[in-house]
Amino acid sequence: MSHTLTVQWTIEPQTAPRPWLACSRCGGQRAFVCSGKTRLNANGRRLDAWLIYRCAVCEDTWNRPIFERRTVTSVAPDALAALQSNDPAWIRQVAFDIEGLRQCTDRIEDLADSSVERRVLGGTVDSARLEIVVVARHASSPRVDRLLSAELALSRARLTKLEAAGRVTLLPESRKALQRPIRDGCRIVLDLTAEDDRAEIAQRARGGP
Protein backbone atom coordinates (compact mmCIF):
# COMPACT_ATOMS: atom_id res chain seq x y z
CA MET A 1 0.00 0.00 0.00
CA SER A 2 1.45 3.35 -0.98
CA HIS A 3 1.46 5.77 1.89
CA THR A 4 -0.21 8.93 0.60
CA LEU A 5 -2.74 9.81 -2.05
CA THR A 6 -1.98 13.36 -3.13
CA VAL A 7 -4.60 15.27 -5.08
CA GLN A 8 -4.80 18.82 -6.28
CA TRP A 9 -8.09 20.64 -5.93
CA THR A 10 -8.54 23.80 -7.95
CA ILE A 11 -11.34 25.86 -6.49
CA GLU A 12 -13.25 28.26 -8.69
CA PRO A 13 -15.97 30.29 -7.00
CA GLN A 14 -19.03 30.63 -9.22
CA THR A 15 -20.53 33.81 -7.85
CA ALA A 16 -18.61 37.03 -7.27
CA PRO A 17 -18.55 38.39 -3.70
CA ARG A 18 -21.28 40.90 -2.99
CA PRO A 19 -20.52 44.18 -1.22
CA TRP A 20 -23.10 45.56 1.21
CA LEU A 21 -23.65 49.27 0.81
CA ALA A 22 -26.26 51.86 1.66
CA CYS A 23 -28.66 52.02 -1.27
CA SER A 24 -29.73 55.57 -1.93
CA ARG A 25 -32.85 54.54 -3.81
CA CYS A 26 -34.53 51.88 -1.66
CA GLY A 27 -32.81 52.84 1.60
CA GLY A 28 -30.86 50.75 4.08
CA GLN A 29 -27.91 48.41 3.70
CA ARG A 30 -28.25 46.17 0.67
CA ALA A 31 -26.21 43.53 -1.11
CA PHE A 32 -24.99 44.68 -4.52
CA VAL A 33 -24.61 42.16 -7.32
CA CYS A 34 -21.86 42.41 -9.91
CA SER A 35 -23.37 43.00 -13.35
CA GLY A 36 -20.25 41.83 -15.18
CA LYS A 37 -20.19 45.10 -17.09
CA THR A 38 -17.74 47.93 -16.94
CA ARG A 39 -17.92 51.58 -17.89
CA LEU A 40 -15.04 53.54 -19.31
CA ASN A 41 -15.40 57.29 -19.36
CA ALA A 42 -13.15 59.94 -20.86
CA ASN A 43 -13.21 63.26 -19.08
CA GLY A 44 -10.98 65.62 -21.00
CA ARG A 45 -7.63 63.84 -21.06
CA ARG A 46 -8.47 61.73 -18.05
CA LEU A 47 -10.03 58.30 -17.89
CA ASP A 48 -12.36 56.79 -15.32
CA ALA A 49 -13.32 53.13 -15.23
CA TRP A 50 -15.90 51.38 -13.10
CA LEU A 51 -17.32 47.93 -12.57
CA ILE A 52 -21.10 48.15 -12.37
CA TYR A 53 -23.06 46.57 -9.51
CA ARG A 54 -26.81 46.51 -8.94
CA CYS A 55 -28.76 46.63 -5.69
CA ALA A 56 -30.23 43.15 -5.08
CA VAL A 57 -33.56 44.72 -4.09
CA CYS A 58 -34.22 47.67 -6.41
CA GLU A 59 -31.50 47.26 -9.08
CA ASP A 60 -30.14 50.74 -8.53
CA THR A 61 -26.54 50.89 -9.75
CA TRP A 62 -23.33 51.32 -7.84
CA ASN A 63 -20.16 52.07 -9.76
CA ARG A 64 -17.11 50.48 -8.21
CA PRO A 65 -14.04 52.46 -9.23
CA ILE A 66 -11.40 50.47 -11.08
CA PHE A 67 -9.38 53.63 -11.58
CA GLU A 68 -10.17 57.32 -11.62
CA ARG A 69 -8.70 60.41 -13.26
CA ARG A 70 -5.94 58.55 -15.03
CA THR A 71 -4.11 59.62 -18.16
CA VAL A 72 -4.31 57.14 -21.04
CA THR A 73 -0.57 56.47 -20.86
CA SER A 74 -0.73 55.61 -17.13
CA VAL A 75 -3.25 52.82 -17.68
CA ALA A 76 -1.80 49.39 -18.48
CA PRO A 77 -2.50 48.68 -22.17
CA ASP A 78 -4.02 45.25 -21.46
CA ALA A 79 -6.39 46.79 -18.89
CA LEU A 80 -7.45 49.41 -21.40
CA ALA A 81 -8.01 46.82 -24.13
CA ALA A 82 -9.98 44.64 -21.70
CA LEU A 83 -12.17 47.57 -20.69
CA GLN A 84 -12.79 48.58 -24.29
CA SER A 85 -13.84 45.06 -25.27
CA ASN A 86 -15.60 44.18 -21.98
CA ASP A 87 -13.30 41.13 -21.69
CA PRO A 88 -15.14 38.62 -19.43
CA ALA A 89 -11.97 36.99 -18.03
CA TRP A 90 -10.47 40.32 -17.04
CA ILE A 91 -13.76 41.52 -15.53
CA ARG A 92 -14.02 38.30 -13.54
CA GLN A 93 -10.56 38.94 -12.12
CA VAL A 94 -11.69 42.37 -10.90
CA ALA A 95 -15.04 41.07 -9.62
CA PHE A 96 -13.30 38.44 -7.48
CA ASP A 97 -10.67 40.82 -6.16
CA ILE A 98 -12.07 40.81 -2.64
CA GLU A 99 -9.14 42.82 -1.25
CA GLY A 100 -9.87 45.61 -3.73
CA LEU A 101 -13.53 45.47 -2.78
CA ARG A 102 -12.60 45.94 0.87
CA GLN A 103 -11.50 49.48 0.03
CA CYS A 104 -15.16 50.30 -0.68
CA THR A 105 -16.91 48.51 2.17
CA ASP A 106 -16.23 46.46 5.31
CA ARG A 107 -19.14 44.15 4.73
CA ILE A 108 -18.72 41.66 1.93
CA GLU A 109 -20.89 38.64 1.40
CA ASP A 110 -18.79 35.76 0.21
CA LEU A 111 -21.08 33.27 -1.47
CA ALA A 112 -19.03 30.13 -1.24
CA ASP A 113 -20.53 28.17 -4.11
CA SER A 114 -17.49 26.76 -5.80
CA SER A 115 -16.63 24.20 -8.40
CA VAL A 116 -13.70 21.95 -7.59
CA GLU A 117 -11.49 20.50 -10.29
CA ARG A 118 -9.54 17.43 -9.19
CA ARG A 119 -6.20 16.12 -10.34
CA VAL A 120 -4.19 13.22 -8.93
CA LEU A 121 -0.57 14.12 -8.19
CA GLY A 122 0.45 10.74 -6.79
CA GLY A 123 -0.54 7.64 -4.83
CA THR A 124 -3.53 5.31 -5.03
CA VAL A 125 -6.97 5.12 -3.43
CA ASP A 126 -5.87 2.46 -0.91
CA SER A 127 -3.49 4.96 0.72
CA ALA A 128 -3.95 5.55 4.44
CA ARG A 129 -3.19 9.23 4.13
CA LEU A 130 -4.93 11.75 1.93
CA GLU A 131 -3.24 15.01 1.08
CA ILE A 132 -5.19 17.73 -0.71
CA VAL A 133 -3.18 20.53 -2.30
CA VAL A 134 -5.44 23.54 -2.73
CA VAL A 135 -5.27 25.98 -5.63
CA ALA A 136 -7.58 28.93 -4.93
CA ARG A 137 -6.47 31.94 -6.92
CA HIS A 138 -9.53 33.94 -6.00
CA ALA A 139 -9.61 35.14 -2.42
CA SER A 140 -13.25 34.25 -2.07
CA SER A 141 -13.13 30.75 -0.62
CA PRO A 142 -15.07 28.50 1.73
CA ARG A 143 -14.02 27.21 5.13
CA VAL A 144 -12.10 23.94 5.32
CA ASP A 145 -14.96 22.01 6.98
CA ARG A 146 -17.50 23.26 4.44
CA LEU A 147 -15.27 22.26 1.55
CA LEU A 148 -14.43 18.81 2.94
CA SER A 149 -17.99 18.03 3.88
CA ALA A 150 -19.30 19.05 0.46
CA GLU A 151 -16.58 17.42 -1.63
CA LEU A 152 -15.84 14.29 0.40
CA ALA A 153 -19.41 13.74 1.64
CA LEU A 154 -18.25 13.59 5.26
CA SER A 155 -20.57 14.98 7.92
CA ARG A 156 -19.43 17.92 10.02
CA ALA A 157 -19.71 15.69 13.09
CA ARG A 158 -17.38 13.13 11.57
CA LEU A 159 -14.89 15.81 10.55
CA THR A 160 -14.95 17.22 14.09
CA LYS A 161 -14.24 13.73 15.46
CA LEU A 162 -11.35 13.27 13.04
CA GLU A 163 -9.92 16.62 14.03
CA ALA A 164 -10.26 15.83 17.74
CA ALA A 165 -8.29 12.65 17.10
CA GLY A 166 -5.55 14.72 15.47
CA ARG A 167 -6.29 13.26 12.05
CA VAL A 168 -6.96 16.49 10.19
CA THR A 169 -4.07 18.88 9.61
CA LEU A 170 -3.95 22.12 7.72
CA LEU A 171 -0.53 23.17 6.43
CA PRO A 172 1.06 25.60 6.98
CA GLU A 173 0.41 24.55 10.58
CA SER A 174 -2.81 26.00 11.87
CA ARG A 175 -4.93 25.40 14.97
CA LYS A 176 -8.66 24.81 14.54
CA ALA A 177 -8.00 23.75 10.95
CA LEU A 178 -11.62 23.02 10.11
CA GLN A 179 -12.78 26.56 10.81
CA ARG A 180 -10.15 28.21 8.64
CA PRO A 181 -10.91 29.66 5.24
CA ILE A 182 -9.18 27.94 2.35
CA ARG A 183 -6.04 29.72 1.20
CA ASP A 184 -4.22 29.35 -2.07
CA GLY A 185 -1.35 26.91 -1.63
CA CYS A 186 -2.59 25.38 1.62
CA ARG A 187 -2.59 21.63 2.11
CA ILE A 188 -5.18 19.58 3.97
CA VAL A 189 -3.92 16.26 5.29
CA LEU A 190 -6.33 13.55 6.45
CA ASP A 191 -5.18 10.43 8.25
CA LEU A 192 -7.68 7.77 7.17
CA THR A 193 -5.98 4.80 8.87
CA ALA A 194 -8.95 4.18 11.15
CA GLU A 195 -11.67 4.76 8.53
CA ASP A 196 -13.23 1.62 7.07
CA ASP A 197 -14.51 3.51 4.04
CA ARG A 198 -11.19 5.21 3.27
CA ALA A 199 -11.17 3.86 -0.29
CA GLU A 200 -14.51 5.57 -0.96
CA ILE A 201 -13.31 8.80 0.63
CA ALA A 202 -10.14 8.67 -1.47
CA GLN A 203 -12.20 7.97 -4.56
CA ARG A 204 -14.28 11.09 -3.95
CA ALA A 205 -11.09 13.07 -3.35
CA ARG A 206 -9.54 12.03 -6.64
CA GLY A 207 -12.76 12.15 -8.67
CA GLY A 208 -13.21 10.41 -11.99
CA PRO A 209 -14.44 6.83 -12.50
Cα–Cα dist 185/38, whole Å: 31
Rounded CA separation 112/143 (Å): 9
Q: How many residues bind Zn ion (CB under 5 A)?
A: 8
Minimum Å gap between C-beta 34 and Zn ion is: 15
User: Which residues is 13 bridged to in the sheet?
Assistant: 114
Q: How far is the C-alpha of 158 from the C-alpha of 44, rounded, in Å? A: 62
Q: Which stretch binds Zn ion (CB under 5 A): 26-34, 87-95, 136-144, 164-172?
A: 26-34
Q: Tell me how far apart the alpha carbons of residues 177 and 37 are, in angstroms, rounded to a whole number.
A: 37
Site mask for Zn ion (CB under 5 A), range 35-74, x = bound: --------------------x-xx-x--------------
Least Cβ distance, residue 24 to Zn ion (angstroms): 8
CB 50 within 8 A of CB 69: no
Q: Which is nearer to Zn ion, 27 or 185 (CB)?
A: 27
Q: With both helix axes pointing from N to C terminus, report the angle between 144-152 and 156-164 in degrees, rounded to the nearest 10.
A: 120
Q: Which is nearer to Zn ion, 9 or 50 (CB)?
A: 50
Residue from 16, 23, 34, 91 that binds Zn ion (CB under 5 A)? 23
CB of 52 to Zn ion, least distance (A): 14
Separation CA 129–CA 131 (nearest Å): 7
Binding site for Zn ion (CB under 5 A): 23, 25-26, 30, 55, 57-58, 60
